[in-house]
Amino acid sequence: MPVRRLFLLSIVPWVCVGASVVAQPPLGVAPGAAGPKDRSRLSIVKLLQGGPALVIDYPWKVHHRPSVEIRLVTREDADFSKVGPLWFVSRYLHGTVTMSVYRCLDKAAGVPQSQTLTEDEIEFEILGRRNSLGRPAVCVARRIPNDDPAPGAAAAFCLLPSWSLNKGLLQLQLPPKYFSTPGKLYVWFLRDEKILWEETAEWPGVGKKGMMNDE
């Protein structure tokens, strides 16, 4: 099934069937009409299983150590100047942390996984599940406490092949445990420690059943 390009920074009429996705461009915009600098690369979509997911239109496959990091800010009076990535891959994805992430991915093929780890006095949770594409997949999440200038949650997707529709499209599901509340969503695409692309969106929140199959 062909994949048409994405143009809207909003919830758009998507249908997901297995690993195939179909989207309609916005009214009055022909496919391919928008250039790389004047169109959104991020869409929030509703899956057939229920719940929203993020679809990112970016050539992730060509980059070394690519990752996507997401930050949810839930308070309207937050200090948005304090919002930034976790830099999880460049700061933490080494040695025993790398082993833990891959071990969680391997075990997620059988049953859902959860493992906590603490780095720089920050507690993270490695979550492994079968995602909406039917693949074992991992994300790393943490809460941003209420006394932080910009409270909410953050997540890092550092093993992107499990979340890919093809070499240029990713379909990411955010863990309901951390992303149940609506708010402002910040999304960064990183190559190791370098930000290549970033975008924001309004996040509708995640229902109780969420987006990972076991939630």
Q: pLDDT of 116-172, one tens digit each?
A: 999 999 999 999 999 999 999 999 999 999 999 999 999 999 999 999 999 999 999
Q: Measure CA 194 to chain center.
A: 17
Percent of the chain with pLDDT over 70: 78
- For residue 162, give the nearest of 195, 123, 127, 209 by alpha carbon: 127
Structure pTM?
0.79
- Enumerate long-range contacts of 190-194, CB under 8 Å, 24 or more apart: 190/66, 190/67, 190/68, 190/69, 190/85, 190/87, 190/89, 190/90, 191/63, 191/64, 191/65, 191/66, 192/64, 192/65, 192/89, 192/90, 193/87, 193/89, 193/90
pLDDT band at 208 (very low <50, low <70, confident <90, very high): low
185 bridge partner residues: 72, 201
Instruction: pLDDT band for 75, please (50, 70, 90 cuts).
Output: very high
**Residue 96 pLDDT > 70:** yes
HSE-CB of 73 using CA atoms within 13 angstroms? 21
